[in-house]
Amino acid sequence: MSAVNAVISRRAVVHNFQKIKSLAPKSKVISVLKANAYGHGLLEMASILIESDIFGVARLEEAIALRAGDVDKQILLMEGFFNLTDIASLRRHNLQTVIHSFDQIKNLEQFSQSNSLTSLPLKVWLKIDTGMNRLGVAPSQFNEALARLKAIDYVDNDINFMTHFSCADDLTNDFTAKQISQFNQLIDGQSGELTLANSAGILAWPESHADWVRPGLLLYGCSPMGDRTGSQDGFIPAMTLSTSVIAIKPLLNGESVGYGAHWKAQKNTQLGVIAIGYGDGYPRHAKAGTPVLINGKRYPIVGRVSMDMVTVDLGNDHQVVCGDQAIMWGNELPVEEIAQWSDTICYELILQLTSRVNITFEQ
Ligand SMILES: *Cc1c(COP(=O)(O)O)cnc(C)c1O
């Protein structure tokens, strides 16, 4: 039995998927399972999200892990392949791929179809850079990219089109509207299917839903909108991270706690020591005041987060006893809030849990 447990609710994930369908009723869904399904377990999430139209991953290894787990649904490599030798694997495992650069197009042109174990056409999604300036072909090179892809005999001529938002979580920023309109102008007259929206696009930019939406974070019940939580928009956090109280001790006025002796008690109080730390993936940058939930009540972290422990100020009239469960985030304590206390985003928190954390699934 591990000290630290992440319990994943299947019901929550199914609910979140349905909620996404209701927000984007005309769109098909690419369920994004990269990074071990945002720390929730790749194969388990794939089996729960069986209603998805396709799975999206970032890396070839992630797609191969799905195939090794007997997942036969279509899979899209959203970061594309990285070199010529990847193409044979892509073909062998029947994967679809994003194409975002002329280096990739050159690789496709060089690939000898005789190395391929399949004669199925290769489905590609051409990614257009509308301002993120990370991956994607420049709008000025769109026509050339498309023509060269269509000239490759084993590439499916039905090419889909994609772009990615850089500021969709910011409703006050008109950059997203500019990205949408540039994308729409460019693909005007093309027959392929379109995808623009990540979770923030799904929530905040309905005009971006198009043929396919690409939710990651929302599936797991968290919100990408800095100042909101998933539950405020009708989603259910899938993960509850908990551990236990392993010691309770008095702390006298003026005494300090933990490494660096950073926090000092302003009055006599009681301290709870909790078995979780950055060695489990709990953020070391969680500031004094970050809440921990014990028996339904919030207690503030005091002192630095260490590798294996955190300390909370229980005050003098608490009912907490050794062995009580301490919830670090979950339904009653949004991970979005913990992310704010730690100067990061909830994406990072849910997927940086270490192998010391025991992941289990409940109905
Ligand atoms: C990760 C990713 C997504 C999902 O993003 P969320 O903000 O988690 O919804 C969508 N599209 C692409 C290309 C991605 O890499």
198 Cα–ligand 1 center, Å:
5
The whole-number pLDDT of residue 263 equals 92
Ligand 1: distance of its center to the CA of 80 in Å? 14
Active site residue 34: yes
Q: What residues of the chain score a pLDDT lower than 50?
A: none
Distance 261 CA to ligand 1 centre (A): 40
Q: Which atom of ligand 1 is nearest to the CA of 38?
A: 8
Catalytic residue from among 106, 249, 259, 297:
259
Please work out whether the CB of residue 215 comes within 6 Å of at least one atom of ligand 1: yes
- Residue 259 annotated to the active site: yes
Cβ–ligand 1 distance for 224 under 6 Å, the answer yes
> What's the pLDDT at 262?
87
pLDDT of amino acid 1: 62
**pLDDT value of residue 24:** 98
> Hey, whose CA ends up nearest to atom 1 of ligand 1?
216
The pLDDT of residue 113: 78
199 lines ligand 1 (CB under 6 A): yes
In b/e form, how buried is each residue of 306-338, taking b as 16+ CB within 10 angstroms?
bebbbbbbbeeebebeeebebbbbbbebbbbeb
Q: What is the 282 CA–ligand 1 centroid distance (Å)?
A: 23
Pocket test for ligand 1, best of 31, 38, 55, 78 (most atoms within 8 A of CB): 78
Active-site residue (options: 19, 34, 220, 278):
34
Residue 317 structure tokens: 């009239």
This prediction's pTM: 0.96
